[in-house]
Amino acid sequence: MKRLKIKEILTGEQIGQQVLVKGWVRTKRGSKNVNFIALNDGSTINNLQVVADVEKFGEELFKDINTSTALGITGTLVESQGSGQKVELNATEIVIYGKADPDKYPIQPKKHSLEFLRENAHLRFRTATFSAVFRIRHAMAFAIHNYFNQKGFYYLHTPIITGSDAEGAGQMFRVTTLDAKNPPLTEEGDVDFTADFFGKSTNLTVSGQLEGELGATALGEIYTFGPTFRAENSNTTRHLAEFWMIEPEMAFYELKDNMDLAEDFLKYLIRYALDNCMDDLQFLSKRLQEEEKNKPTEERSMELVEKLRFVLENDFERLLYTDAINILLESKHYKKGKFQFPVAWGVDLQSEHERYLVEKHFKKPVILINYPKDIKAFYMKLNDDGKTVAAMDVLFPGIGEIIGGSQREDNYDKLVARMEAMGVPVEEMSWYLDTRRFGSVPHSGFGLGFERFILFVTGMGNIRDVIAFPRTPKNAEF
């Protein structure tokens, strides 16, 4: 018999038929005569209720059926007697694939803390919460490819091992095969990387952008979607050392086109989630509301589905950095000394400032543009004022910065001057500068932090809970 997924079975189309399901037990409860097994196979947040006659299978069998036992069950699908589900399965045959000793299995059928589940990240997929998060994560990845494919963008695979520091922030993980204990040295006593595997110093990429620009200035519109690595020692709920980034790069796009694309893209993804992931979203929403019950009303966040609809239905606020600084300086929050970090023209905004603008002042997503040149990367286009660059950050409620991007400096001389001023090695980057030497065009792009976006869509509070195996300072388990 062909195995059916529980998602398909729960539509009720097979009522009256014999079906075969395979999955893991979520819960089992029983009386003397019948046992009720809630089975889940990962295809949906919902379980299939299986009804098994104790006498028919013998009491012994049920001792081996516990939470997370893997089963194959054949039976007749009938209309459900109880409430809550449309159908249930009257078991005629039960096969145990793998037992799960209830005294040793760490995930019990009760509420566990997210911290506990993080320590057991190898098993947390078996919980309803994490299965929902990872189904949504999949759907969003799929939607991203769909969006760009429909728009004629090409998916470009940029390298993971690279010799350049795209962001110029020096937060890179070195890649080497040299003996750490006894590396070859130059006459000056430095490590001799010409003896290393690639004949030069290499690291894991912090961004695929620079290579993306090479693609965009020939293919027109490209995007990357891959892992990026940052050795920044930030132990926050929004930072990972290994995260996934989506970086579209478009020839002939100026800053406004870049903003329009970013807003349209984010709204497409949110719409896709609402259209395709409603069961999981509703489950996560209920979970969130349970968690927030104990918070004072003014601190509770908007209900998840309502929040997603709200972002979809409202234009993002577009604002100059300079105006944002003024809003912050004039806020009661600032005057009462409630910001931890300083506010002044020229300083980088911290997440508390970003969230104030989004959550308290505008109460919707904000696109901030034209930042001071000294707090942004070397490749951003210098504005006519000589002080600011055509940067663009998209700020989201509960998250802060979700997208960072810019129009790129397309003038060769200005770009070289910026690189020199910021200490970027010009000779090593001549491959990058060739785009400005030959057929240079205005172009723009941005990077969406995939996990930060998944945090927003799922309503989860910690970035470690939306990536399967989080890498953070002092943690690379599994």
- Burial category of 477 from C-beta neighbours within 10 Å (exposed 0-12, middle 13-18, buried 19 and up): exposed
Residue placing its CB nearer to ligand 4AD in the complex, 156 or 166: 166
Residue placing its CB nearer to Mg ion in the complex, 400 or 470: 400
CB of 269 to ligand 4AD, least distance (A): 14
Measuring CA to CA, which residue among 285, 359, 356, 291 is closest to residue 324? 356
**What SS3 class is residue 304?**
helix
Residue 215 interaction partner, one of Mg ion, ligand 4AD, none, beta carbon < 5-8 Å per kind: none
CB of 442 to ligand 4AD, least distance (A): 15
Distance CA 389, CA 374 (A): 9
Q: How many CA atoms lie within 13 A of 76 on its CB side?
A: 5
Per-residue CA distances from 134 to 53, 395, 450 (Å): 35, 24, 13
Residue 220, both tokens: 């027109």
Q: Which residue is nearest to Mg ion (CB)?
A: 404
Residue 28 interaction partner, one of ligand 4AD, Mg ion, none, beta carbon < 5-8 Å per kind: none
Q: What is the residue-wise DSSP string for 345-357?
A: TTSPPPHHHHHII
Q: In what order do the strands lie in the sheet with 400-407?
A: 154-155, 221-229, 242-251, 443-449, 400-407, 388-396, 366-372, 317-320
Residue 23 interaction partner, one of ligand 4AD, Mg ion, none, beta carbon < 5-8 Å per kind: none
Phi-psi region of 269 (alpha: psi -120 to 50; beta: other; left: phi over 0): alpha
Residue 447 interaction partner, one of ligand 4AD, Mg ion, none, beta carbon < 5-8 Å per kind: ligand 4AD
Residue 247 interaction partner, one of Mg ion, ligand 4AD, none, beta carbon < 5-8 Å per kind: ligand 4AD
Residue placing its CB nearer to ligand 4AD in the complex, 343 or 391: 391
Binding site for Mg ion (CB under 5 A): 404
Residue placing its CB nearer to ligand 4AD in the complex, 167 or 410: 167
CB of 8 to ligand 4AD, least distance (A): 36
Residue placing its CB nearer to Mg ion in the complex, 130 or 371: 371
CB of 456 to ligand 4AD, least distance (A): 10
Q: Is there a contact between 60 and 50 (Cβ–Cβ < 8 Å)? A: no
- Burial category of 301 from C-beta neighbours within 10 Å (exposed 0-12, middle 13-18, buried 19 and up): middle
Residue placing its CB nearer to ligand 4AD in the complex, 230 or 287: 230
Residue 359 interaction partner, one of ligand 4AD, Mg ion, none, beta carbon < 5-8 Å per kind: none
Helices (H) and strands (E) in the chain, counts: 15, 16
Residue 230 interaction partner, one of Mg ion, ligand 4AD, none, beta carbon < 5-8 Å per kind: ligand 4AD
Q: Is there a contact between 250 and 424 (Cβ–Cβ < 8 Å)? A: no
Binding site for ligand 4AD (CB under 6 A): 166-167, 207, 209, 230, 232, 239-240, 243, 245, 247, 401-405, 445-447, 449, 451-452
Stated length of the chain: 478
Residue placing its CB nearer to ligand 4AD in the complex, 89 or 259: 259
Residue 207 interaction partner, one of Mg ion, ligand 4AD, none, beta carbon < 5-8 Å per kind: ligand 4AD
Residue placing its CB nearer to ligand 4AD in the complex, 449 or 459: 449
CB of 239 to ligand 4AD, least distance (A): 4
Q: What is the residue-wise DSSP string for 134-163?
A: HHHHHHHHHHHHHHHHHTT-EE----SEES
CB of 336 to Mg ion, least distance (A): 28
Residue placing its CB nearer to Mg ion in the complex, 133 or 402: 402
CB of 380 to ligand 4AD, least distance (A): 9
**What SS3 class is residue 193?**
helix
CB of 350 to ligand 4AD, least distance (A): 14
CB of 250 to ligand 4AD, least distance (A): 11
